[in-house]
Amino acid sequence: MANKLYVAGTEPRTGKSAIILGLMELLKRNVKKVAFFRPLIDVDHSRGERDNTIMLLKSQYHLSYDYEEMYAFTIAEAGQLIAMGRTEELHEAILAKYDKLAATADFILCEGVELEGATASFDFDLNVEISNNLGCPVMLVARGKMKTIPGLVRSIKRYHDSFTKRGCDLVATVINRVHPDSVSAIEKRLADEKIAKNQLVYIIPNNENLGNPSVGEIARLLNAELLYGEENLTRHVRSFTIAAMQLRNLLARIEYGTLIITPGDRSDVILSCLAAVQSMSMPNISGIMLTGGLIPEEPVQKVIEGFGDSVPIISVHENTFQVAIRVENIHAAITPDNNRKIIQALAVFERHVDVDELSEKIIKTTTTTVTPKMFESQILQRAKADKQHIVLPEGETDRVLKAAEILLRRDVVDLTLLGRKERIQKRISVLGLHLESAQIIDPIKAPRFNEYVETYYELRKDKGITRSVARDIMADLNFFGTMMIYKGHADGMVSGANHTTADTIRPAFQFIKTKDDCSIVSSVLLMCFHDRVLAYGDCAVNPDPTAEQLAEIALSSAKTAELFGINPRVAMLSYSSGRSGKGQQVEKVRKATEIAQEKAQGIYPGLEIEGPIQYDAAVDKEVAHTKMPESKVAGKATVFIFPDLNTGNNTYKAVQRSAGVVVVGPILQGLKKPVNDLSRGCLVPDIVNTVAITAVQAQANKG
């Protein structure tokens, strides 16, 4: 089993951290327990510093290892040992630290040594010796920025030859930060040199956003004081300009992503820049830096507060010239708090690296265990494989807009946002989001509005609906979004962040209707435990289903579970197991089981369904052996059908809170086309997951 990989750069600033991030995403999708290890880190712990890459991966992927377990030495500590002639001791200690970590992990991703100011040969020698000691195959990351094509290819060939001669197993090379116009020429030159003959080679074009620091990074590195705009510190700084001129000249020099540097007593500059941010005709700046330790006077502060948190405003004590020099020398990093840059780095990696091919190369076997992160990643990948068009009626909601940016950056779905166009564009601008590829529709101004009104009138006129009422109803965001699905102008809908469940699904009940083999709409929750994913149904829609409806819920839930990679073994839950109990509720479950088993023979042959069965007997093998020793489901159930909404809703919430389970859903099932409901307390990741799930459902409907 190839349970390790060592990533080494040819020089500093190759953009290796973005590659590490993409690799960790790939690994977490396929491997149960992944660890990250750096032999040497360049930080000063006495000053409270922490290695950025370790903290980034620990935060993003919830790695359970302590910070101290994920590195061996600081550069300073290693330097002392080398200076004292104790190099052998250094390498032995690195290996001992690695082995301790390896004993608890299925795969270890290692990041090689990168020393600022060191010679390339010194870096190379360290990386070769460490990777060989650890027995790791190597991925090489080269920097293409500011390189000639012949020079770049010669450098890569020299590294390949050197690694091979030193006994290293070089499995892949990533050429990062390449000028987009040079990609084809580099590919041809590599082919001519036969460099890619025995390994994988990927070329990633330069992405300016990843190479540019955020306002938050600049503030942290300059020890600046944040005055306004905490929510927008992730804005990228593409350039900076010193505001020491009259406003008419300054405004002409403002570009998208500019950081304005100005003395703190230049209230005219500050207010003019804030006004420019609010203007739809001016480029959106990244922030304002006030110098000299000066801050605006109180009357000016009141005016600034009226603009809200439109852009971050930070203050430093140095003078303007000193600060400009320091800003010029800042190098960007992907920090744990910059979710937008993390998402963009993952999107760039997945766009230019064949993750399936690379996975096959570096991972020989995979575990059957499914973690929450693995499950979520798999759903996103499935959605991306056949992009669907999803409509989001709550386009004016910040959480929805932030989720939309993530989905579009990662190329998961095509999106339509519904709402007042000017309001949506204003929120996009204020939040500093990139949603250029999203379609924005104001229902009452939409070209198809009258067509939708007429369609709704024809569908509902027998219910007493007039054209006037139909026009009012079709102005509702959820009704308009549902009509888009009905008419084939979208593949699915997700709503509920600001609407009740009834508001979200009522239109679907009226004219999307249920599938031919379903009489009711029900729901299933995907419960992501630390090592597996289970399905719970129905915990959100039907208060007290009949035996016939319960049987239908069981079959629908089994199909949904299978759609999302869960091998369905269905447990029909009750307060007794087998034939031991009596009572109205037990009899309902017993009858439902018989109906489901009979129907499954025709529409779902081979499906295992047992009931009535208690939860402990369904999930615990030891209890199952005592209560139902002959059962094929007991102790191995993956789909749990609750007898009523009261039981199901309370059980899933109790399990969620007490076991720390990640809950995905509710996923609605039974509709001809997918509509899914969000919790009004949903977070941005919840919206992303629900949209991806809706896309997968839409794929299945078309299949």
| DSSP one-letter string for 103-123 | TT-SEEEEE----TTS-HHHH
What's the pLDDT at 374? 64
Whether the predicted pLDDT of 262 surpasses 90: no
What's domain 215-328's superfamily in CATH? HprK N-terminal domain-like (3.40.1390.20)
Helices (H), 202-281: 208-211, 215-221, 247-253, 267-278
Q: Locate CATH 3.40.1390.20 in the chain.
A: 215-328
3-state secondary structure of 391: strand
Name residue 523's beta-bridge partners. Answer: 668
Residue 191 CB contacts under 8 Å (≥ 6 apart), including other chains: none
Residue 32 CB contacts under 8 Å (≥ 6 apart), including other chains: 106, 367, 369, 371, 374, 531
Where does 4-207+347-352 sit in CATH, by number? 3.40.50.300
Q: Both tokens of residue 39?
A: 């032999």
Question: What is the average pLDDT across 191-216?
Answer: 79
Question: What is the average pLDDT across 689-702?
Answer: 91
Provide the pLDDT confidence category of residue 115 given band limits of 50, 70 and 90. Answer: low
**What is the spatial distance between Cα 393 and Cα 493, in angstroms, rounded to a whole number?**
8
Task: List, for residues 314-344, the tens digit of each pLDDT value.
Answer: 898 888 888 888 888 777 778 888 888 888 8
What's the pLDDT at 521? 87
Mean pLDDT in the chain? Answer: 86
- In the CATH hierarchy, which top-level class contains the domain 368-511? alpha beta
Q: Locate CATH 3.40.50.10750 in the chain.
A: 518-670
End-to-end CA distance of the chain: 36
What's the pLDDT at 121? 57
- In the CATH hierarchy, which top-level class contains the domain 518-670? alpha beta
In this prediction, what percent of the chain has a pLDDT beyond 90?
Answer: 24
**What is the spatial distance between Cα 119 and Cα 561, in angstroms, rounded to a whole number?**
55
Q: How far apart, in Å, are the Cα atoms of 260 and each of 232, 257, 285, 296, 555?
A: 15, 10, 8, 15, 61
The DSSP symbol for 224 reads: P
Provide the pLDDT confidence category of residue 134 given band limits of 50, 70 and 90. Answer: confident
What's the pLDDT at 581? 65
Task: List, for residues 462-486, the tens digit of each pLDDT value.
Answer: 888 889 999 999 999 999 999 999 9
**What is the spatial distance between Cα 514 and Cα 510, in angstroms, rounded to a whole number?**
10
CB-CB contact of 157 with 175 (8 Å)? no
Task: List, for residues 39-51, the tens digit of each pLDDT value.
Answer: 999 888 888 888 9
What's the pLDDT at 1? 38
Question: What is the average pLDDT across 604-611?
Answer: 86
What's the pLDDT at 170? 84
What's the pLDDT at 264? 86
3-state secondary structure of 544: coil
